Structure 1
């Protein structure tokens, strides 16, 4: 039997026309590419798959992910662009040129009022080791794994103040009601 999804009011059976649709990436606006790229590549081990510059509109896009060990990534830039837009779990960092010279955090994190966007999430193999790694890298915590009502979940902030949830999947089996 194949899984057809949990059913709630408003849920529809996926129309056949949507076959093959998949979520490719989530975009965050960043102030300073050097700081943000440093954070995501150092703290989360992500790799920059592709950078696209749009000079006429004065912005750059950086696509980051964690390719699987042994996964073949095209060397040719055009082929790698197509490959990138065919992946799952990609983080797009958008840099509007000139923002790096502005003072302080310049983008709304979605968690302050008025609330909107909340967070992105990384799954890690060992939550305690990840928490120790974040401490060693001076990462800003919102919530540690032993704090609050929701145990075994960490929330940290990236350099732009965006919240990142960090979980160990095996610890979440009894999550919720």
Structure 2
């Protein structure tokens, strides 16, 4: 749901918030990945995201792949750096992505079978999955929160 002029409106695209004559809308979030192919496979299997575009530096120093769900305009940008030779240090920041899912129980079962559930909070009715680089994604039943 989005809010427009203090009214809640349903939408399948990014929300646009007005501030004077300016309009801002979410475009994408970026994460860096160590193994691009492994990450692409994970996000396709776990969250059904598809690559919408790919940009490669002519020198081969980096590759950007944008992933998209058919249910939102917001994208996840994966950045692969050729010369990065160690796991990313995710630090103490609790940054995470969050996805609503229409069939929460089926998603939880699938993610448990994949072995990617990092934390489950049954009291809140949510859980988190971890990607190959350790980034967490929150899974929320549609219509909750």
State TM-score, norm by structure 2: 0.80
Higher strand proportion? 2
2:118 to 135, 142, 148: 142
1:153 to 126, 131, 136: 126
CA RMSD of aligned residues (A): 2.4
**Are positions 1:59 and 2:62 aligned together?**
yes
Structure 1 residues 89-98 or 150-159, which shifts more? 150-159
Structure 1 gap segments, 5+ residues each:
6-12, 69-86, 173-177
Structure with the greater alpha carbon radius of gyration = 1
| Alignment map for 1:8-47 (pairs within 5 Å) | 14-19=18-23, 21-47=24-50
- Please state how far the C-alpha of 1:28 moved relative to its aligned partner: 0.2
State TM-score, norm by structure 1: 0.67
**Are positions 1:108 and 2:89 aligned together?**
yes
- Please state how far the C-alpha of 1:143 moved relative to its aligned partner: 1.4
Deviations for 1:80-126, whole angstroms, at most 9, x for unmatched residues?
xxxxxxx7310000000143xx45xx1123xx4xx335101111012
